[in-house]
Structures are given as C-alpha cells and as structure tokens.
Structure 1
Amino acid sequence: MADHYIIRVTAGHTYDLDDHVEVPVNRPDATRITHEHMDIELNVRIRDYRGLPRGSPSHSPYFDQEPHANNKDQYSIAIRFTPKRPEGTGSSSGSDEEKEEVEGISAADLQFGNDFDHPIRDRLPPGFGTAMNIVKWWIDPGLEGDAYADMPYLYGPALSSFNAVHAGAGHHDEEKGGLWFEEGGDDHGVRRRRDWGAPDDAKARMKWALRAENKEKWVWEYGKTYGVDFYNPYVDFNEFALRLPGFHLPIIKYWDGQGLRQEHQPKRSHQLRYVLRNRATGQPYLVVLFTLYLKEDVNEDGTLKPAALQATKKASGGEGEKGKPMEKDDMEAFVKDSDREKANGTNDDDVD
C-alpha cells in the first residue's frame, strides 16, 4: 500500500498550510522561519527518502555519523531557535550574570509533540494502548496526552523529549548534513546548565527534566539561541510503519485520513504533525507537517493537483476554525489536568 503514496514535508509557525514552506528533506540548507515569538532554523532528514520535492537526496550524511549510524535512526527533526521577548516587556537591568531572575520560557511550558484537530479514536489500531505504554516506558516517560479526545494530543516537555539539547547555536556542518547539535552548550549555556543542576549527559538530562522542580529551574532565555535534535529508529516514513521494541504496526492502515476515495472527491490527505508550542498559552512556535499524497494527486514537477492541495488545507486547518490554538477555557482545563497528573507523581524510570 505504501507504494501508492508519496510524502511531502512542510513547516510553518501556524497550523495553516498557507503559512507553510516546503522543507527540502536531506539537504544541508536550513529552512528559516521567523515570527514574532521566535527565529527558527530547521533541518529534516529521512533515511532512504523517496518523497517531495522531486530530486531530493535519498540519503543524508547525518545518518553516517554516530550515534545515528549505530542506532539506525530513521529520521531527524533538528531545530535551532531563539525565543523573542514579548512586545511591551522590558529587560532587566544589569548583565546576565547579575540578574537574579532569568527571563524566558519555562521548561515546564515549552512542549514538543503531536496533535490533531479532529478525532482519531475510530481509526486507532488494535494494540494502540500497548504501543503507547512502550513509548512512555522505553522512549519518553514525560509524554502526556489523550488520543481519544476530540482534539487528540501527545506532548512532552521539550527539555525531556529532545534527544540532544545544546544551550547555544551549535554548528552547521554540510559534511554532517546541516544543523548539528551535541549535548552541552556554549560558554554561557554550560554555565546556565550547571547553575540549574542539569546533567551533562543527554540521557541523564532527559531523566532529570522529568521532575517538576527541575523544569521550574530551566528557562529557555529570550535572545539566546538553542539547538535541539529529535531522532529515533522507530518511525519508518518510507514503509509508513511504527517499529517499537517487540511491537510492529503498519501506520498506513490507520494513519490520519479516510478510507477509499469517493468518486469525484479527493481523498483526505494523511498527516502527522510535530509541534513546538507553549503549554501555558497554546501558542504554536513551529509546526512540521508530514503529509502523504496519492501519487496520482501529484504532478510530474512535484506540485500538488488543486483538489489534493485543497483537501490538505482543509485537513490541516487552512480553512475554518481547525488548527487554531485551543480556546482559553479549553487550555485552562488542559493545564489543570496536566498539573493534576504532575501532582500524582512522575515516572522516574530510565530513559532509553
């Protein structure tokens, strides 16, 4: 079934496809997205890529580097971002070292994960609960969400979700595939990490960041640049399969979308989106959208046929009210639920 589809990756600062640009997968040039809340650079890499735009490299040298070669990582979302101070707020006087209070986005509020703007509960596969237990136990104990809600979501704190966190600009190295971040930071970032007690090791930092009191210490500072990388060997975007330890699931059978095309009606596009967002306000900072199209809906030059593009916009929130941040009442309820879960304790198992 996967042979009938082709994948396209876009990114923007909202859910609206009109605000998105096509991401050149596996190319070292970073995609730049700038808005009032953040300056962002982005690289997306997918092993053995066969998607859009036409002529995209099938391979990135990123996957030849360690730890990715040994891990057999299947994809990477690497982000360099600089949070901006909200308009109308002033900075504190004195140097950074003299300030008692560091200004920025709390680690408790900066989230990364997946969400949908319509229910998917009727399309969840048998064994989905088992898969989620594996993900939370083996991959990311910090994840919170509800796949059965009217607007399903699965978010984790960015500080515990990203495999690599570099408190600084990191590097752009074409020989390594573009943006390249290793755990650590520049001089200022390393001092901050040590002041807050964050471990130098990535796995130890991910475990450390699960505790509420540690998330309250860390601040993603306004005007400072950070590099983060999210990668794993579990999602195969070419075969559209989820391969967890001891568990295999062909995603294409269940991925967000409807069944067979009705006559004269374009098939709803299959979509998976990753979102960097603010938990307190519901504000998205970055939306990376992986969309599957039937090959017959894509022109030879890689552009989308009008009906396919319209269907994607509708599904991704480009029309009507879909894809917008939660309303205030919904967000307050979500925050209360999350706080209640934190109060009930945190999984302190090792992150692998």
Structure 2
Amino acid sequence: MADKYVLRVTAGPTYDLATHKEVPVNAPDLVRVSTDHMDVDVTVRIRNYKGLPRNSPAVSPYFTHEPHAANNDQYSIAFRFTPKDPAKTKTAGAGAGISGADLQFGNDFDHPIRDRLPPGFSYAMKIVKWWIDPGLDGDPYADNPYLFGPALSSCNTIHVGPAVFDDEKGGLWVEEGASDADAKGWRQDVGAPSDPKARMKWALQEQSKEDWVWEYGRTYAVDFFNAYIDFSEFALRLPGYAVPIMKYWDGQGLRKKRSHQLRYVLRNRTTKDVYLVILFTLYLKEDVNEDGTLKPEAARAYTSEAHTPAASIEREAAITPEEDAKAPDFDGEAAMEEARKHLAEVELGGKKEEEGKGAAAVADGDID
C-alpha cells in the first residue's frame, strides 16, 4: 500500500497548509518561518527518503555522523529559533521569555483517532514514556488528541546560540552546548548539564523547568531525532513493539481520504500560541504532477481553518492506558518484557543501563 503514496514535508506558522512552504528534505537549505512571536529556521532529514520535491536526496550526510550512525536514526527535525517579546519592546529584559514548562513540542490531531489506534497502543505509550520521553503528556483517546512534552526535555540536543552550519554534516548541526562564552555562562547559571541525556533527565524536574527560560531575543537551536519512525516504510518500530502505520495514518482509513497527515507542533502551553507547524503529508501518487506540484484536489487538502484544533486540546491530561479491546491476541506483557531485555542491553556512556531503567528515567524511580 505504501507504494501508492508519496510523502511531502512542509513547514509554516499555522495548521493551514496554505500558509506553508515545502521543506527540501535532506538538502542543507533552511526554511524560514516568521511570526510576531518567533523567527524559526527549520530543516528535516529522512533516511531513505522517496518523497517530494522530486529528485530529493535519498539520504543526508547527517546520518553518517555520530551519534546518528550508531543510533540508526531514521529522521531528524532540527530548527533554530529566536523568541520575540510580545510587548514589542526594544529590549526584553533579563529573564523575560517563555518558561521551560510552557514551550512544548509534540503532535496533535483535529479529530478522534481512538478507533484507529494500532493494537497494543497503550503498551507502546508505556514504552515511549519509560524509555524515550518521560515528559510526554496528553490524551490520544480524546476527541482532539494530543501528545506534547516540554521542548526542554523532549529535544535530543539543545544549543544556546545559533549552532553551526556544516554542509559536510547536512547543514544545520546541533550539538548540546553553547555558541560562545556568554551562552555557556547562561547555561551554567541555569544549571543545565552539558551532556544531552543528563540535560533531558534534569529537565524533567519542576525546578529545572522554572529555572530555564527561553529568553526573548536570544537564539537557540534544537534537534529532535530517533530511530523509531521509519518514513521510508511508514512503520513504527519500538523495542518490543512494531507496527506498519499506513492503515492508521492520521486516524483514517486510507480509502477515505486523498491525503493523510502527521504534524509536529511547537507551541506555548499557557497562551496556546502556535510558533511552528511541520506537516508530514501523504498524497496519492495520482494526485501529484510530474514536476512534483500538487493537483488542485490534493492542494486543497488541509487548507481550511476547520483544521485548527478545538479548545479541548487545551486541557492537559495524563495518558490514559485503555484496554486494547480490538486486539485480543496482542500480548502486551510479552512486548514489555522484550522491551526491558532490549533496553537493559543498551550502553550509554560506556556503561550499561540498569535493567528496568530507561535512558531518561526520572531520578526518583522508574516510569510506570
């Protein structure tokens, strides 16, 4: 079924596709998204890419460098951004900005997906929260589902400053750290560890999210990557859990829609301001012209304000582990045990993780 569709990645300031620009996947070029709230430069890399624009590189040099080669990372969303003072003053003042708790990165949908979630999804979420992102919060079973985490703990690397641009590494290259002495001192004053995994763990603490403020006028760069979503085969592969996602994409049967969408959103938890929306959209190949442009019926997809999420996503709620009633043959406990065995063997910093502990496990105990 995957061979009937082609992937296109776009970025813009709203959920409306009409406001978006096409992202040249695996090219070093950055796409600028600018609003009254923030200036953002974004790049996307996907291993074994086969989508639009036509003749896009199949892979980026990014994936040949560590840690991405060893991790077998499948995709990366990297961006640098400068928050703007909403009061539009010339100087924001020391410490003025977006709190570490409020700047969120994640996914949301404008319609229910609970009836189309894959078998064993509740176990998949346990694995994700246990190993990948303990800070993730949301409600995938709501009428307007969402899964968000603080960018401070969700992003794999965070750089205070614009980071570097290196063609040999695929363009924007974000390493944990800071660009200059001032930025390095800023990180040290906040108390953020210099190691990315230590910083992700540190960022789960409430005090850390209070201490870290994304300051107006200061530039930051982040990279979000992992080995778990394979966009070339449209598959989700977690330790102990794997599923083809084509028939679950965007919570719709593929015969019902001409396009299907997964979106990543950078937003403010408190104000609900949206800063950046990155859309991964699948189109029927028959709806794409030879030059890579979309035919009118496909171009109209997701260009209505009706796709703005309803107010219900504003309600923050814990992920509710519901029974996978549609999957009586799915052995969730076996999946969790397989995940534990896999994760117990993963080496980080030359030292094996203690069995039952995730890489970013909360300092005071396991993630249930």
| Equivalent residue number for residue 263 of structure 2 | 273
| Equivalent residue number for residue 292 of structure 2 | 302
Counterparts of 1:27-176 in structure 2, within 5 Å, are 27-89=27-89, 91=91, 99=94, 102-176=95-169
2:285 alignment partner AA: K
Question: CA deviation digits over 1:191-226, x for unaligned, max 9?
Answer: 111111111110000000001111000000111110
Question: CA deviation digits over 1:75-131, x for unaligned, max 9?
Answer: 0000010001113556466xxxxx5xx111101100000000111111111100011
Question: CA deviation digits over 1:165-185, x for unaligned, max 9?
Answer: 001111011111010010011
Taking the aligned partners of 1:79 and 1:199, their CA distance within structure 2 comes to 21
Taking the aligned partners of 2:134 and 2:97, their CA distance within structure 1 comes to 25
Deviation of 1:69 after TM superposition, in Å, equals: 0.7
Contact in 1 for aligned 2:201/2:362 (Cα 8 Å): no
Taking the aligned partners of 1:260 and 1:116, their CA distance within structure 2 comes to 16
Deviation of 1:299 after TM superposition, in Å, equals: 1.1
| Equivalent residue number for residue 197 of structure 2 | 203
2:281 alignment partner AA: T
Taking the aligned partners of 1:350 and 1:232, their CA distance within structure 2 comes to 21
2:278 alignment partner AA: V
- Which segments of 5 or more consecutive residues in structure 2 lack a partner in the other structure? 319-360
Contact in 1 for aligned 2:85/2:92 (Cα 8 Å): no
Taking the aligned partners of 1:284 and 1:290, their CA distance within structure 2 comes to 17
In terms of mean alpha carbon deviation, does 248-257 or 14-23 score higher? 248-257
| Equivalent residue number for residue 180 of structure 1 | 173
| Equivalent residue number for residue 8 of structure 1 | 8
Contact in 2 for aligned 1:258/1:268 (Cα 8 Å): no
Contact in 2 for aligned 1:240/1:251 (Cα 8 Å): yes
Counterparts of 1:238-317 in structure 2, within 5 Å, are 238-256=232-250, 258-259=252-253, 261=255, 267-310=257-300, 312-313=301-302
For the structure 1 residues 164 and 253, does the alpha-carbon distance in structure 2 shift closer, same or farther, using more than 3 Å as the test? same
For the structure 1 residues 126 and 37, does the alpha-carbon distance in structure 2 shift closer, same or farther, using more than 3 Å as the test? same
TM-score by length of 2: 0.84
For the structure 1 residues 34 and 141, does the alpha-carbon distance in structure 2 shift closer, same or farther, using more than 3 Å as the test? same
| Equivalent residue number for residue 341 of structure 1 | none
Counterparts of 1:319-330 in structure 2, within 5 Å, are 319-324=304-309, 326-327=310-311, 330=312
SS at match of 1:155: strand
Question: CA deviation digits over 1:238-281, x for unaligned, max 9?
Answer: 1000000111110112111533546xxxx241111000100001
Taking the aligned partners of 2:4 and 2:251, their CA distance within structure 1 comes to 15
Deviation of 1:350 after TM superposition, in Å, equals: 7.9
- Which segments of 5 or more consecutive residues in structure 1 lack a partner in the other structure? 94-98, 339-345
SS at match of 1:145: strand
Question: CA deviation digits over 1:124-143, x for unaligned, max 9?
Answer: 11100011111110100000
For the structure 1 residues 4 and 92, does the alpha-carbon distance in structure 2 shift closer, same or farther, using more than 3 Å as the test? closer
Taking the aligned partners of 2:258 and 2:252, their CA distance within structure 1 comes to 6
How many equivalent residue pairs?
Answer: 323
Taking the aligned partners of 2:168 and 2:2, their CA distance within structure 1 comes to 31
For the structure 1 residues 231 and 350, does the alpha-carbon distance in structure 2 shift closer, same or farther, using more than 3 Å as the test? farther
SS at match of 1:200: coil
Taking the aligned partners of 2:251 and 2:126, their CA distance within structure 1 comes to 24
SS at match of 2:8: strand
| Equivalent residue number for residue 223 of structure 2 | 229
